[in-house]
Amino acid sequence: MDSEKAEMQRFFAVIPAGGIGSRLWPMSRANAPKFLHDLTGNGQTLLQDTWDRLQPLANGRTMVVTGDVHARAVADQLPELDFANVILEPSPRDSTAAIALAAAVLAQREPDVIIGSFAADHVISDAQAFHKTVEEAVKVAATGKIVTIGLKPTEASVAFGYIKKGKRLATDTACEVLEFVEKPDIATARRYVASDDYLWNAGMFIAPAAKLLEILAKTQPTLHSGVVELAKVWDTEQRDQAMARIWPTLTKIAIDYSVAEPAARDGEVAVVPGDFEWHDVGDFAAIAELQSQGRKGHLAVLGSARVLSDSSSGILVSDTGRLVALIGLEDVIVVDTADALLVTSKEHAQKVKSLVDSLRESGHSELL
């Protein structure tokens, strides 16, 4: 067995399946979030696509972390998922709690495990290129690094964070990470893209679980001890009691702040450039663009809509079975559900989030 094979045998995929996807309201709801929907029109949900994409690397060694209200939907959608590899969150406590608890549980079972965390709601079409990139990331992670995957920007997007590359590492294409930077303004984004020193941060992390926990112990000691305590009793009858006691106390913090950025400052993070198309399909404009594949004037249709369109472009999402007639609308967004209808345009796709915020504030939680 050569060393690369051995490294991949340490690999265990983690799929954090959380977040509602407010910008995709009224399709995405608290009880039917983004990852449970088919946003590509291929007949599978994003969660199923994520699972399938990982299996050639993980061979079933895959853990899903999701809200307890989604347990049934996840089990229905992923019949091959072993329920011993499911973490059900009694409430959302941000990405560090989710990923660190997965790391701690897996490290308790297999001390040398290398985990790879991949969001349940991203779209990647070139699985082979993805596999090659993850394999290299696992190899670099085996040297004791936190490894992230950075996508070569195709435009000066202000919707993503960026990763500043440093010098090349010994293996293949990996580089050290000098810095993670937040979503920039457009001028800064243009400068980043022109410089060739920056990659999009797709939020994928590959690391030895022990290494991730070691960093967390330094940056968030209480959070660290909480997940370690949970992990110790995870595979015992005390799990539920411990979760009820400890989970609500865990600090809510994104893993970017608790692990990735501090580790980058200590020179412990590497990035493997990913050479594949990647979409976080964060809003309806992104879905429309993904579906149209650059065809001008294309109307994307998701769901069971019966549609009658006269020279309209954009996206229609409908699960009501009603006839939907569109006439002469450019870049329109129509989302037709049983209790709520959204009509806007691609230009305003990001504003859906503030609309959802105002629904929450005005007490319309039954629609969220």
Residue 297 binds a copy of itself (CB under 8 A): no
Bridge-based pairing of strands 269-274 and 175-181 is antiparallel
Task: Select from 76, 80, 237, 310 the one that contacts a copy of itself (CB under 8 A).
Answer: 310
Tokens of 163: 């990763």
Residue from 235, 266, 347, 357 binding a copy of itself (CB under 8 A):
347
302 binds a copy of itself (CB under 8 A): no
Question: Counting contacts by CB under 8 A, is residue 283 touching a copy of itself?
Answer: no
344 binds a copy of itself (CB under 8 A): yes
Minimum CB separation from a copy of itself for residue 170, in Å? 51
Handedness of CA 120, 121, 127, 133 (dihedral sign): negative
Q: Are 137 and 116 in contact (CB under 8 A)?
A: yes
Per-residue exposure over 315-339, b if at least 16 CB sit within 10 Å of its own CB, e if not: bbbbbeeeebebeebebbbbbbbee
Kindly write out the interface string for residues 3-42 of this chain, putting x where it contacts a copy of itself by CB under 8 A and - elsewhere. Answer: -----------------------x----------------
Tokens of 251: 């600090």
The answer to the question of residue 363 lying near a copy of itself (CB under 8 A) is: no
Minimum CB–partner distance for residue 302 and a copy of itself (Å): 15
Restricted to residues 145-174, the positions that interact with a copy of itself (CB under 8 A) are: none
Neighbours of 298 (CB within 10 A): 16
Please give the size of the binding site for a copy of itself, defined by CB under 8 A.
Answer: 33
Cβ-based neighbour number of residue 91 at 10 Å: 12
Could you give the CA distance from residue 178 to residue 251 in angstroms, rounded to a whole number? 26
Q: Pick between residue 98 and residue 326 the one whose CB is nearest to a copy of itself.
A: 326
Q: In the numeric block, which tokens belong to residue 121?
A: 């709601």
For residue 239, the one-letter residue type is: R
- Which C-beta is closer to a copy of itself: that of 116 or that of 314? 314
Residues in contact with a copy of itself by the rule CB under 8 A: 26, 308, 310, 318, 322-329, 332, 334, 336, 338-345, 347-348, 351-352, 354-355, 358-359, 364, 367
